A and B are shown apart, each in its own frame.
Chain A
Amino acid sequence: MAGNLARGNDLNIGQGTGLKIMTWAGVIFLLLPLIILIVFSFNDSRTVTHWEGFSLRWYKAVFLDDSLWLSVKNSLVIAIVSTLVTTILGTMCAMLLGKYRFKGRELFQNLLYVPVILPEIIFGVAILALFMLIKFPLGLISIICAHITFSFPFATLIILAKVINLPPSLEEASLDLGANRWQTFIRVILPNISPGVVSGALFAFTLSIDDFIATFFTAGVGSSTLPLKIYSLIKFGITPSINAISTILIVFTVTALFLTDRLQKSERIGRTVKLTIGGVFLAIILGLVAAPFFTTRGKKLNLYNFSTYIDESLIADFEKQTGIDVSLDYYNDNEELLSRLQMGVSGYDLIWPSGYMVKIMQSRGLIAPIDYRNIPNYKYITSALRKLSYDTTGKYYIPYAYGFTGIVYNSALIRDSVDSWNALWDERYRENILMLDDMREVFWAVYKMLGQTVDDDTARLQKALEMLVRQKPLLKKYESNATQEMMLSGDVWIAQTWNGLAARLNAIDPKFKFCRPREGVIFFVDNLCIPSGAPHKANAEKFINFLLDPANSATNMTTIRYAMPNERARLLLEPSLRDNGIIFPDISDVSELEVMQDMGPFNKKLDKAWTELKVK
């Protein structure tokens, strides 16, 4: 009767055209980004915004990228294990809260909301502090623990709603009919709260698989997840390979959901079959989790580098030659590297800090002196770069690659020849200019343009700031990560950028030209350093020696397109590369070479000026 009363069809409730339009608009709004992402994963272009024909090249790239697959595997293992544990704990907790009255119950239930309300970044810092305090090693297990901790309250609250709605008489009836408490739970309670348990599990899985913040804080050596990996890739431009991997993930998730649903509903598939499928699935997961513990061969080397800043085939060669098991994790900038080491994330044997960071790290005791007796190939390193200003002893670093910041421009759109920093202030390119989103790079460029050296002088800083404030309306934006992307798409005509990136753009299309401004440029040198307390220092030195071998160094340069201070290696390069003026700036006179360095107390003033500029 109630059903008839509530039917309301004669009133046309829910039948209006307006409502239908709203609904479909909502659905499209939700799904459109995904559709675009999937479509452009088949795009035969480097850009995400211009369609240039169908291609599977990005899928090929994804399938060939071992480090990407490692992060996918990590993500899945973490998500599945944490989901399993979360669901079990959440169900237990929901049963406790939903069925029993005990002292402190209210308090406990309210405390559950704390991780839900708390900003995740606070939670991440807190759990990291805990791990550090109890000396818990950071890695897959620590990430899993963190994910369980923050997804457990969500799962509990979802399951609790179902438990509360479960009539207590069902449980009593089961006991009454002779079942013990466990049988009652398995046969009566669990099937009846299963929709809640499944949604709780799905929620936990979703939270885990796309978590960035808590993972970022708790990740250790070799435990980079897909979101961390994708974020580190973005640094070097969004390529459609990210679309491809996302599409694969979407297809995987949707298929898994669909299959789970079918398995649950299907009457024809027997219990044993379901149990077998579940068992096999569980065994695979456990195997994946357990594998690292069994395959540890004792000979290991943990690298921590910028993304795409080493030819990974070299790592494979090194593994083959020495039998050492190498893992490679990525950071996005020097500050991230510093914070990870300061947090106490130990386990890395080799890092790639920039010059100014070497000085900071050395002053804080984060890096150890390198024993050159173990690195005979050090002899190939250009002597000009052996004792730079940031470490005049030269004991703590080995120069890896160097370059400088200049201007890249699209010569199809900018007819004039560009030879000065002033071009970035040119009114004609209004809204088509890009500056790096990096306080040092931006201010240093201004200082150069004004013909001044960077020092602790407030008046000069004020002058520089005024210049930048004047420039700001002309800019597209401050951007470090998508320069290549925006140049390729034509959104940006002229950009402040690194020479290596300009070389890459030039290789794609010669219309992208690079200019080394006549006022002068700032060099950067990225270095190889060994963190204090690195667990496999000897292996790290072995690897450095391997990298410095001229043949290997040449291979590496060919891939990453940044100059390495290894004269013998340069001779081995293809002529087009060897004589490329963009990649190999003239560094013959080291006294002219101004290397970006740490400014000490001036940093604070600079930081303030930068913030002022950004908010204006």
Chain B
Amino acid sequence: MLELKNLSKSYGQVKAVREVSLQIAKGEFFCLLGPSGCGKTTILRMIAGFEKVTAGHILLDGADITHDPPNRRDVNTVFQNYALFPNFNVTDNIGYGLKIKKIPVKEQANRIAEVIRLVGLEGFEMRMPGNLSGGQQQRVALARALINRPRVLLLDEPLSALDKKIAEQTRNELSELQKKVGITFIFVTHNQTEALAMADRIAVMKDGVIEQCDHPKEIYERPMTHFVADFIGSMNFFEGTMTGIDNQGYNITIPELGQVVMSQKETTPETDNQKHTEPVSELSTAFESQKNTMPSKSPVLFCIRPERMKIGLMAPAAYENGLSGTIRQKYYLGEITKFTVELSNKKLIAVIAQNYLLQLSNEFYDIGEQIWVTWSKTSGEVINVR
């Protein structure tokens, strides 16, 4: 288990990381997600030992490694630009760590062959890094780190330099590989899709602070802060006031909507996250904790994702909230169509419709058309505005 305790990093007056605490379980695929400059890479580099820690501690399986040099840490890194040694061929790059550790030559050969098979680089053993494609280089970098069987593998935006198709393919392979080797992965990215697709847990960072740390589904569906809600996916925001809260849900007054009732969602945990029983128990208390921190009459943000909304000619039903508006823009994007709707108070919101559903129901809407935007009362999230 890797544990960060109040980890901080300052560059002169600039605080890159502020008192970050995290616990990452053995075998977990953990993702640090955030825009550039949020401190995610700095955390990774502190774990690897490339950056000196300003304050706080790093514990690996209980041992304090905060001040150990990089070569004494049982941690390996896959670099963003792969950092393959240009003077060595694929085999020598991969075998570098074993050679340094003076592993017997025969065992070296066996382990190299094994890891080459694992990442699917058979036939490229003698190539020089300059003669490999981006994807192949990435595999070499991965193999070079994995062969040392580290307790934690750090990956610094390893997919960002790849073409979209190859990145997607590699993403899947990486997930599978992680399950196969069972090593803790800490993955740094600014790409939310990668994070959502691969991670067991995601920590969303902003300005050196973790805004929210949770399972991908929770991050997406129950963002706790305006930033998380905005950064992950797309979101429509409405400013409002909390007018009532009880065990059934919230009552919120929003200028555009008037009174909005929001039912509490079921909190049954997802089954595919079974192995993380601990974090899941935190999940069910989310509503409870929010309830306690949001007193009546406090300003809140109501947010709802565009794909949760529906465009139609019908006024909202009893189990729905709804707004009327005019379609101003319409983009056909293949599997979906994206609408921009202007509400009566001139506010613009985004609505996404699945094209196949539109076609099924034979519903086609055009720019300028007056429509209703509706959504279920169980949809949407309330965020406390501090």
Whether B97 and A177, one on each chain, are in contact in the complex, defined by CB atoms closer than 8 angstroms, is yes
B interface SS class: loop
The residues of B that contact A178 with a CB separation of less than 8 Å are: 71, 97, 100-101, 148
Set A169, A180, A187: member contacting B79, Cβ < 8 A: A169
Whether B148 and A167, one on each chain, are in contact in the complex, defined by CB atoms closer than 8 angstroms, is no
Q: How many interface residues does A have (CB within 8 Å)?
A: 17
Set B50, B81, B148: member contacting A177, Cβ < 8 A: B148
Quote the shortest CB–CB distance from A360 to chain B (angstroms). Answer: 62
Whether A175 and B70, one on each chain, are in contact in the complex, defined by CB atoms closer than 8 angstroms, is yes
Instruction: Check: B76 CB closer than 8 A to any chain A CB.
Output: yes
20 A-B interface contacts by CB (under 8 A): A169-B80, A170-B85, A172-B48, A172-B83, A173-B84, A175-B49, A175-B70, A175-B71, A176-B71, A176-B75, A176-B145, A177-B145, A178-B71, A179-B71, A179-B96, A179-B100, A180-B69, A183-B100, A187-B96, A188-B87
Set B80, B87, B101: member contacting A192, Cβ < 8 A: B87
1/0 contact string of B132-149 vs chain A (CB within 8 Å): 000000000000110010
Can you name the residue of chain B whose Cβ is closest to the Cβ of A169?
A: B83
Whether A174 and B69, one on each chain, are in contact in the complex, defined by CB atoms closer than 8 angstroms, is no
The residues of A that contact B75 with a CB separation of less than 8 Å are: 176
Quote the shortest CB–CB distance from B60 to chain A (angstroms). Answer: 14
Set B50, B96, B97: member contacting A172, Cβ < 8 A: B50
Q: Could you list which residues of chain B lie within 8 angstroms of chain A, going by C-beta atoms?
A: 48-50, 69-71, 75-77, 79-81, 83-87, 96-97, 100-101, 144-145, 148
The residue among B80, B85, B101 with the most chain A CB atoms within 10 A of its own CB is B85
Quote the shortest CB–CB distance from A69 to chain B (angstroms). Answer: 40
Q: Could you list which residues of chain A lie within 8 angstroms of chain B, going by C-beta atoms?
A: 167, 169-170, 172-180, 183, 187-188, 191-192
Can you name the residue of chain B whose Cβ is closest to the Cβ of A170?
A: B83
Quote the shortest CB–CB distance from A591 to chain B (angstroms). Answer: 83
Whether B87 and A174, one on each chain, are in contact in the complex, defined by CB atoms closer than 8 angstroms, is no
Quote the shortest CB–CB distance from B318 to chain A (angstroms). Answer: 59
Whether B70 and A188, one on each chain, are in contact in the complex, defined by CB atoms closer than 8 angstroms, is no
The residue among A173, A183, A192 with the most chain B CB atoms within 10 A of its own CB is A173
The residues of A that contact B49 with a CB separation of less than 8 Å are: 175-176
Set A169, A174, A175, A180: member contacting B81, Cβ < 8 A: A169
The residues of A that contact B86 with a CB separation of less than 8 Å are: 170, 192
Can you name the residue of chain B whose Cβ is closest to the Cβ of A171?
A: B83
Can you add 17 more A-B contacts, CB < 8 Å, to A170-B83, A178-B97? A170-B86, A172-B77, A172-B83, A175-B49, A175-B69, A176-B48, A176-B70, A176-B75, A177-B97, A177-B144, A177-B148, A178-B101, A179-B71, A179-B96, A180-B69, A187-B85, A192-B86
Whether B79 and A173, one on each chain, are in contact in the complex, defined by CB atoms closer than 8 angstroms, is yes
Set B69, B85, B87, B101: member contacting A173, Cβ < 8 A: B85
Whether B83 and A177, one on each chain, are in contact in the complex, defined by CB atoms closer than 8 angstroms, is no
Q: Known: A172-B50, A173-B77, A174-B96. Is A180-B83 also a contact (CB below 8 A)?
A: no
Instruction: Give 6 closest A-B pairs by Cβ, nearest first.
Output: A169-B83, A177-B97, A191-B87, A173-B83, A175-B70, A178-B100
Quote the shortest CB–CB distance from B82 to chain A (angstroms). Answer: 8
The answer for the CA separation of A183 and B96 in the assembled complex, in Å, is 11
The residues of A that contact B85 with a CB separation of less than 8 Å are: 170, 173-174, 187-188, 191-192
Whether B76 and A177, one on each chain, are in contact in the complex, defined by CB atoms closer than 8 angstroms, is yes
Whether B69 and A177, one on each chain, are in contact in the complex, defined by CB atoms closer than 8 angstroms, is no
The residues of A that contact B76 with a CB separation of less than 8 Å are: 176-177
Whether A167 and B97, one on each chain, are in contact in the complex, defined by CB atoms closer than 8 angstroms, is no
Quote the shortest CB–CB distance from B14 to chain A (angstroms). Answer: 16
Whether B77 and A180, one on each chain, are in contact in the complex, defined by CB atoms closer than 8 angstroms, is no
Quote the shortest CB–CB distance from B254 to chain A (angstroms). Answer: 50
